[in-house]
Amino acid sequence: MKPITLSTLQANKRAGEAFSCLTAYDATFAHAADAAGIEVLLVGDSLGMVLQGHASTLPVTLADIAYHTGCVARHKGRSLLMADLPFMSNASTQRLLEDAGELMRAGAEMIKVEGEAWMAEGVRELVRRGVPVCAHLGLTPQAVHQLGGYKVQGRDSEEASRILEEARALVAAGASVILLECVPASLGRAVSEALEVPVIGIGAGPDTDGQILVMHDVLGVTAGRGPRFVKNFMAEADDIQDAFKRYHDAVKTRQFPAEEHCF
């Protein structure tokens, strides 16, 4: 099967066809997700929480992400492989470039960065060097202490227009994809309609171009009560690959997220 590339996601957006994304941290689960049709695999710094047991993503190192990116990259499927730059990789443009370089050498095909319009320079320098960038906006978990918790962002109209402007600035700097986390469904729709580039949502309503979830949430094995926007697809599935397939199909048919998963 043809590999999924940035052009595939752009074509999906133009055709109004939703695409599914899922986190993956190792070769076996990456294989199962890929075989289920998932289009984008993300080696997220959520691994700090779901694999390492930390209370936030802040302790995750570049070496951690590079190791798991290598594990996922070795499965050789058709999905696009995106990797997260960890906390403080954006300390300087120099560090950003070197850290992204390490993840690309480990097998990433796109780099995801948290940060708003001030990240534009770093994004521009990455893109100039051939590194596709996904810019993560809305609830940015690396800023959890600044935000005062994992809270919905962009609730009032001023905040919402600010987030849209940040997204525009990052796209102008060369970002190929925008990821929106935990924002009202109306903002998810507005940003997706306003931008030419694909927008991936998590807790951002049903109208973003793609959807993403953390694998452990899809499998219903996350400790404690998960956030509102997750769904356990294992509940009705025969096995793990079937759960991934049900998630993929629900995204494709826009049955997920449903009203109860949205803000």
Residues catalogued as catalytic: 181
The annotation status of 46 as a binding-site residue, yes or no, is yes
- Sites for Na ion among residues 71-130 (CB under 5 A): 84
The annotation status of 45 as a binding-site residue, yes or no, is yes
Q: Which helix (H) or strand (E) holds 171?
A: helix 157-172
In contact, 67 and 104? CB cutoff 8 Å: no
In contact, 206 and 262? CB cutoff 8 Å: yes
Number of Cβ atoms within 10 Å of the Cβ of 156 = 9
From ligand KIV, Na ion, none, interface partner of 82 (C-beta below 5 to 8 A by class):
none
User: Taking the complex as a whole, how short is the minimal distance between the CB of residue 129 and ligand KIV, in angstroms?
Assistant: 23
State the Cα–Cα distance between residues 114 and 141, nearest whole angstrom: 8
Nearer to ligand KIV, 42 or 219 (CB): 42
- Judged by CB under 5 A, how many residues of this single chain contact Na ion? 3
Sole binder of Na ion in the list 12, 34, 37, 44 (CB under 5 A): 44
Beta pairing class for 19-23 and 40-43: parallel
- What is each CA distance from 185 to 16, 97, 212, 235, 262, in whole angstroms? 17, 33, 15, 25, 6
The annotation status of 245 as a binding-site residue, yes or no, is no
From Na ion, ligand KIV, none, interface partner of 12 (C-beta below 5 to 8 A by class):
none
Q: Is 64 in the site for Na ion (CB under 5 A)?
A: no
Q: Where along the sequence are the contacts to ligand KIV (CB under 6 A)? A: 23, 42, 44-46, 84, 179, 181, 202, 212, 214
Nearer to ligand KIV, 1 or 140 (CB): 140
Nearer to ligand KIV, 22 or 190 (CB): 22
Phi and psi at residue 23, to the nearest 5°: -75, 155
In contact, 217 and 201? CB cutoff 8 Å: no
User: Taking the complex as a whole, how short is the minimal distance between the CB of residue 45 and Na ion, in angstroms?
Assistant: 4
User: Taking the complex as a whole, how short is the minimal distance between the CB of residue 24 and ligand KIV, in angstroms?
Assistant: 10
Nearer to ligand KIV, 101 or 227 (CB): 227
- 17: exposed, middle or buried (C-beta count within 10 Å: 0-12, 13-18, 19+)? middle
Sole binder of Na ion in the list 26, 34, 39, 45 (CB under 5 A): 45
Give 178-227 as a DSSP string: EEEES--HHHHHHHHHH-SS-EEEESS-TTSSEEEE-HHHHTT--SSPPP
From Na ion, ligand KIV, none, interface partner of 212 (C-beta below 5 to 8 A by class):
ligand KIV
The residue at minimum Cβ distance from ligand KIV is 44
> Which of 214, 200, 204, 208 lies closest to 45, judged by CA?
214
Binding site for Na ion (CB under 5 A): 44-45, 84
- Which residues contribute to the annotated binding site for 3-methyl-2-oxobutanoate? 45-46, 84, 112
